[in-house]
Amino acid sequence: MGYLTADSQCNGTITRPSRIDRRLRRTTARSLMAALHDSEALSRSILESSADCIKILSCDGTIQLMNPPGLCAMELISADQIVGREWSLVWLQAMQAQVRAAVGRARAGVTARFTGFCPTALGSPRWWDVVVSPMQTEDGTVLRLLAISRDVTAARVAADELRWASEHDDLTKLPNRRAFEAHLRAATIQAMDGDARIGLLLIDLDHFKLVNDTLGHGAGDRLLKTFGRRLRETVRIQDYVARLGGDEFAVILPGVEGEAEMLAIGQNILSRLRDPIVFEGRVIGSGASIGGAMFPRDANCANDLLKYADTALYALKASGRGGTKMFHSNMREQLQMAAAQLSLARRAISNRALVPVYQPKVEMKTGRTVGFEALLRWHHPTRGLQLPDTLSEAFKDYELASAIGELMQKKVLHDIASWSACSLSIGRISINAAPAEFLRDDYAERLLGRLKEHAVSPELIEIEVTEHVFLDRGAEYVSRALKVLNEAGVRIALDDFGTGYSSLSHLLDFPVKVVKIDRSFVAKVHTDPQTAAIVRAVADLAANLGIDVVAEGIECPEQARFLHAMGCGYAQGYYFGRPSHADGVPQLLCANPRPQLEAFGGREVLE
């Protein structure tokens, strides 16, 4: 149809376009062709220069076009290798449903986006961030689909590496505490849904610090790495092994049958650990202690399961290291009691409610008081004066034990300074030291600093330790501290000798000047021949080594007679005097010992 001029429309006649009209039409056509050409060139330029993999899809998801950079990214030689194929089938089977869903959304006019894994034609691993958009006409009809895939492999690998590092131990490559706790929560939730059982084993390497300090941290690292690998190899394939930190490991046992199976797994772990570990030509020896608990038998949540397995481990270590111990309900009561004692200890420290009382030490030959032992007592706000066993858990904790020890030392030194100012000859004062106080290598320096602060001579102080200090962690610190104190003039006494982990080597390896025979032996010494023989052997050995012997807990003259006859030079106990507050010590020093001496049956026994 031609153009109609205004005149022709008015009079109804048809005229041909003017020359100007024809020129205008030709100019407009050329402009449209140029614009179309420019648009195609721009589109081609975008397709060829983009680093992304760009594809034109039909509405059913068939690939119609892929840009050259996309072919390169997918490691394709030509477009013939991929054009005409259904796009979803290019992906791994696990991703195909997600790809088809994205195509369906774009076909419905909605832009879809997803991230997925799709290797290249040559098998190179690639992660892609994909956007699928509809290509629509002005009226909204979807003609084709545009899929733009961006290679995000480097970012994905970096994120995976960062996540892995945040969830794994760098030394052993095992999951760390953070990952372990998340896995334990998930495992217990899954077990609740399926009415299944979960076992948990907590493993603590025995005397690991001693390996570090004697053979070096390289040896310690070798031990940890080797144990971690052996632990993973020993347990079942479905079990989850983690390093919680330091020398602590954990194993989550899904679907475990019962306690017998857990004990058997624990025994296998211990047996595997006993295999020699060689580091720079030296064999590293190590044992382990294992505590276990079961879900839901012992606990109804992940936190309680972890707490109760730790309780079982703690109970095992308290009774002697090595082996596997399972949690039982009676331990829950012990755990509550321990928590209550720790709370009492913190309150007593905060209120400075600790009080030293002094029990005399008597020379058996003369009955003369030659010193005192400072015994711990504390004031309860409603129950009055309490014995130290009501705070026994606090002495296993470094912070609390050290705080109690510091308060006791300061009060005892204050009392000594007061007696010295009054020219009282009090002999040596014994102060007890808990094993936990030696867990840092500064016990001797702190004590000597307080002696200097109170102007008290080291010659007036005796430190009493039990044999546990030579076996627990920090034993090497104990050795150094005792040597420093001995060189400064402080005397070292070995308390409760004959109980627990007695070893005669302790008398040779450490600067022990006094051995104290435990009250459990003293109670039976005059009625049990075997006990008497043990006490006599200890007294003879000490005499040959130049070590003084003190018998504790003497309560009757028969005990005193036997012990003196066996060679015990010194004694403590209610028979010679009950503990007294500081203001009662002068009276104890001035007391006449003759009535006590006469109870032995005469001077010939004592002198």
Buried b (16+ CB within 10 A) or exposed e, 59-82: eebbbeebbebbbebbebeebeeb
In three-state secondary structure terms, 355 is: strand
* pLDDT tens profile 154-193: 999 888 888 888 889 889 999 999 999 999 999 999 888 7
The sheet with strand 112-117 has its strands ordered as 63-66, 53-57, 142-151, 127-136, 112-117
pLDDT of residue 5: 41
Q: Residue 194 and residue 190: Cα distance in Å, rounded?
A: 6
Which stretch of DSSP H or E encloses residue 568?
Answer: none
pLDDT of residue 538: 87
Q: Residue 280 and residue 298: Cα distance in Å, rounded?
A: 44
pLDDT of residue 30: 56
pLDDT of residue 28: 53
Backbone angles phi, psi at 440, to 5 degrees: -120, 150
Cα 418 to chain centroid, rounded: 46
- Helix 259-273 to helix 217-234 angle (10° resolution) is 140
Beta strand residue intervals within 560-605, DSSP E: 570-571
Collect the ranges in the chain with pLDDT lower than 50. 1-14, 35-42, 592-607
Q: Residue 596 and residue 584: Cα distance in Å, rounded?
A: 19
Q: Identify which of 469, 488, 372 has the alpha carbon closest to the alpha carbon of residue 430.
A: 372
pTM value > 0.85:
no
Q: Identify which of 239, 240, 247 has the alpha carbon closest to the alpha carbon of residue 182.
A: 240
Contact (Cβ atoms closer than 8 angstroms) between residue 230 and residue 272: yes
pLDDT of residue 603: 34
Structure tokens at 266: 């624990």
HEC secondary structure over 261-309: HHHHHHHHHHHHHCCCEEECCEEECCCEEEEEEEECCCCCCHHHHHHHH
Structure tokens at 368: 């003369």
Beta strand residue intervals within 518-565, DSSP E: 548-551
pLDDT of residue 215: 76
Contact (Cβ atoms closer than 8 angstroms) between residue 308 and residue 299: yes
Q: Residue 189 and residue 301: Cα distance in Å, rounded?
A: 8
pLDDT of residue 594: 40
HSE, CB side, 13 Å, CA atoms: give it for residue 101: 8
